[in-house]
Amino acid sequence: MVPQYYDLPSLNALTAFEASARHLSFKLAASELGMRSGEISRQIKTLENDLGVPLFVRRGTELMLTSAGRDIYSVLASSLLKASEVVRAIKRDRSRHAASANAFTST
């Protein structure tokens, strides 16, 4: 087995966490991701177990981020925003990117 290049938990768990943290709601995260709330909750629990710290504090129906949750959310949100900007730029400039790919493969 090839070792992981990045020391990261499951990307599915990170995606579930990011949406949950952004909405401060497992229900809204589940709706956005096309999942059930229980699946989101399991992904968060897996992530918390992997990290060894809680990421959310649950007070009745209110969901709040812990210090660790705020730290990881900040990095995830920033990274995903940057990735989204690059994807938009590539889509906007498809013809330029396609031309450079064709030039590379035809040599």
Give pLDDT tens digits for 48-82: 999 999 999 989 889 999 999 999 999 999 999 99
Q: Read off the tokens for 54.
A: 């809680």
Q: How many CB atoms lie within 10 A of CB 78?
A: 10
Residue 44: its pLDDT value, please? 97
- CA-to-CA dists, residue 65 to 14, 100, 104, angstroms: 14, 44, 46
**94 compared with 42, residue with greater pLDDT:** 42
The conformation of residue 79, written as its DSSP 8-state character, comes to H
Q: What are phi and psi of 65, to 5 degrees?
A: -80, 140
Residue 1: its pLDDT value, please? 74
Residue 103: its pLDDT value, please? 63
Q: Read off the tokens for 6.
A: 């990045």
% of the chain surpassing 90 pLDDT: 74
In this predicted model, what pLDDT tens digit does every residue of 15-40 receive, in sequence order? 999 999 999 999 999 999 999 999 99
Average pLDDT in the chain: 91
